[in-house]
Amino acid sequence: MRILAIDTATTTGSVALTDGEKVVGEYLLNIRATHSERLLPALMRILEDGEWSGSDIEGLAVATGPGSFTGLRIGVATAKALAYTWQKPLIGVTVLEGLAFQVGFAADWVCSIVDARHGEVYGRLYRINGLPEPVGDYWAGPVAEFLQQVLDAAVGPVCFCGDGAMAYWDIILEAAGERARRPASNSIELRASSIALLGRQKLLAGERHDPLTLAPMYLRLSEAERKLKARCAAGR
């Protein structure tokens, strides 16, 4: 099954083409340029270099979040538009599940963490048993509280991945000590090829998302929305 995948959840944006379990191509950039500037050129380039067109693609996969509010909207909207235009099946994959799938080789327990800034993270703990199996609910809040929950639930070593693991590695080491594991630097942040490969498995299992209704997963209000809510509350 030929999959086109998109990830624009964080500053590290990427697109990938996979054919079955083979990665045909992947473009990844970890720079400050906005996804609105680089996503479409990256898509056009990878399709041209892979010698694929819309008719060659059998499914689309997109990282749905949590992550950057603007980045997620760009990636999800683009994937929805392509799926609708090409009339191809679409599957959304959460960033946290994609990360756990990507580093599932590293430990029986994987903790996916996305940096939400100001000492807070989005996260979830997974037990690796073939595919990642979630343990507990999604988390959005202070990193120290999340780590305590993770270490209480997991048994033995835990592999921490995602840009949140990079941002708060000292705090993770202090909390987890010798139980903390970290994958190689080229695997710690999400890659679109992982979204493609996991998305393929979901599509083959019969999972689908409607291109008209698929929405990003935010887990909390944006900073602008929180400030507006606080001003409204203060004005009462």
Band of pLDDT at residue 217, cut at 50, 70 and 90:
very high
Give the CA angle between residues 213, 192, 208 to the nearest 5°.
30
Torsion, CA 44, CA 208, CA 187, CA 11, rounded to 10:
60
With b for 16 or more beta-carbon neighbours within 10 A and e for fewer, the 71-83 pattern comes to bbbbbbbbbbebb
Give the whole-angstrom CA distance, residue 22 versus residue 18: 6
Give the CA angle between residues 146, 147, 148 to the nearest 5°.
90
Q: Is 20 helix (H, G, I), strand (E, B) or coil?
A: coil
Give the whole-angstrom CA distance, residue 55 versus residue 16: 16
Give the whole-angstrom CA distance, residue 122 versus residue 64: 13
Give the whole-angstrom CA distance, residue 140 versus residue 151: 17
Say yes or no to pLDDT of 156 above 50.
yes
- 35 burial (CB, 10 Å; 0-12 / 13-18 / 19+) is buried
- 34 burial (CB, 10 Å; 0-12 / 13-18 / 19+) is middle
- 187 burial (CB, 10 Å; 0-12 / 13-18 / 19+) is middle
Give the whole-angstrom CA distance, residue 97 versus residue 134: 8
The pLDDT of residue 98 is 97
Say yes or no to pLDDT of 31 above 50.
yes
**CB count in 10 Å sphere of residue 84:** 13
Is residue 190 within 8 Å of 164, Cβ to Cβ? no
Say yes or no to pLDDT of 232 above 60.
no
Q: Where are the domains of the chain?
A: 2-95+189-224, 96-181
Q: Which CATH class is domain 2-95+189-224?
A: alpha beta
Say yes or no to pLDDT of 135 above 70.
yes
CATH topology identical between 2-95+189-224 and 96-181: yes
pLDDT digits (tens, 9 = 90+) for 184-203: 988 999 999 999 999 999 99
Give the CA angle between residues 222, 71, 61 to the nearest 5°.
120
Q: Report which of 172, 69, 193, 73 is spatially closest to residue 113, judged by C-alpha positions.
A: 172
Superfamily of domain 96-181: ATPase, nucleotide binding domain (3.30.420.40)
